Amino acid sequence: MKTAILSLGVVLSLFASSALAASKEGEACTEPCGARSRQLKGHTFLFPILQQSAFVTSHVGIREGLARYDVPDVPVNDLAPLDVHLTGIQQTLDLSLSITNWLGVTGYGRATIITGTNADGLLASGATVDLLGQLGAVARILRSDTSGTQLSFRAHYGYNRGREITLLPLVNAIVNTPQITVGGIIDGDLGQFLFVPRKESSAQGGLYVAQSFGPVFSLQASGAAEYAWQTRRPFDSVLGGRFDQDTHAFRVFLSVAATLDIYPVTAVPLAVMGEYVFRTGFQERVDQDDRTLKDSTAALGIYYSGRANLQLGIGAVRTFNAEPRPGLGEGGRQLESGEPSLSYGELILRYVW
């Protein structure tokens, strides 16, 4: 009898321990447990704006943004150079699915429209319409909860297709090709001159690291390299059709992001992230020397940090020393503008499960 009671006590004890463990696990997972994939040493990492993260997650995110693009000293035939101001909108969707806790697949899509806000802007730079898609994968190389470190490798293939909308070829064709008449332009040549199709395929790979310094502060950094194949198809009035201009580009991206989250120490669900990216490499150009890339981009974001499975915030981005825009000087000579600057703000929403 005593043995039976003892046995029953052991069974009840094991059951109670199991139930208590399940209860604690349930309490810990009031939010989707998948959100833990971006937590180290009590710190919940944010997804940066300017780079991808080192974490293998399942999430979906959307970003809506407004942009301003300023291009100084754009050459326009024999006219005085123009300072061009453009505005635009951008919509982005990103998706990630974790296959295991160390391997995942990613998808990314972005639509951008930038157009001139005045006659000078339309004449010199027109507008651009871009559609970008990427498919890739992420593999975790190292994760240490003790040191608060995670290292991953990411690779993706991208395809960018769009049309430049510019009046410069039209103006130049009218000036340099007397046989083109206004009637001919109206009958069908206008669209050929205005719209310049272009596309780009790219392959990128890089290492991404995240380092937690406790619940409040963290750093994320990455180094990535990208090779791009580009084709532009302008219209030639003499040939009476479009022709291909094939170029290549090699780009290197060095990025860092720092996050300060005051929620763990103040119970105020607020986090701030500052980011910086330096891009270098070369851009091949038609009938010109290759251009060395050397632009920099900085970003600042403010986020709600009260839930580990939700990222909601606003961000501001500024790019300096971007690639000059092509233009035409007197006599049809190919010239370039000054160094443009790009500024935009966006609303960011991501859900992790």
Q: Which of 100, 68, 98 is nearest to 84 (CA)?
A: 68
3-state DSSP call for residue 19?
Answer: helix
Question: Are 169 and 193 a contacting pair, CB within 8 Å?
Answer: yes
Number of residues in the chain: 353
Question: Are 63 and 90 a contacting pair, CB within 8 Å?
Answer: yes
Q: How much is the pLDDT for 179?
A: 53
Each of the 353 residues of the chain gets a pLDDT tens digit; together they read 444 444 434 333 433 444 333 433 444 455 566 678 899 999 999 999 999 999 999 999 999 999 888 878 877 666 677 777 778 888 999 999 999 999 999 999 999 887 766 555 555 555 677 899 999 999 999 999 999 999 999 999 999 998 776 656 655 655 555 555 544 544 455 556 666 788 999 999 999 999 999 999 999 999 999 999 999 888 776 677 788 889 999 999 999 999 999 999 999 999 999 999 999 999 998 877 888 999 999 999 999 999 999 999 999 999 988 777 766 666 656 777 788 888 999 999 999 99
Long-range contacts of 111-114 (CB under 8 A, 24+ apart): 112/67, 112/88, 113/88, 113/89, 114/67, 114/69, 114/86, 114/87, 114/88
3-state DSSP call for residue 101?
Answer: coil
Q: How much is the pLDDT for 12?
A: 36
Strands (E) in the chain, as ranges, are 39-40, 43-44, 59-74, 82-98, 103-116, 127-144, 149-165, 195-212, 217-232, 235-236, 241-242, 245-261, 270-285, 288-304, 310-320, 326-328, 334-336, 341-352
Q: Distance between CA atoms of 48 and 271, rounded to whole angstroms?
A: 12
Close Cβ partners of 140 (under 8 Å, ≥ 6 residues apart): 54, 56, 101, 102, 103, 150, 151, 152
DSSP type of residue 41: T
Q: Distance between CA atoms of 116 and 88, rounded to whole angstroms?
A: 9
- Residue 282 CB-half CA count within 13 A: 8
Q: How much is the pLDDT for 34?
A: 66
Q: Distance between CA atoms of 31 and 311, rounded to whole angstroms?
A: 13
Q: Which of 199, 230, 308, 221 is nearest to 273 (CA)?
A: 221
Q: Distance between CA atoms of 60 and 295, rounded to whole angstroms?
A: 29
Close Cβ partners of 49 (under 8 Å, ≥ 6 residues apart): 273, 275, 299, 301, 315, 317, 346, 348
Question: Are 131 and 113 a contacting pair, CB within 8 Å?
Answer: no
Q: How much is the pLDDT for 182?
A: 47
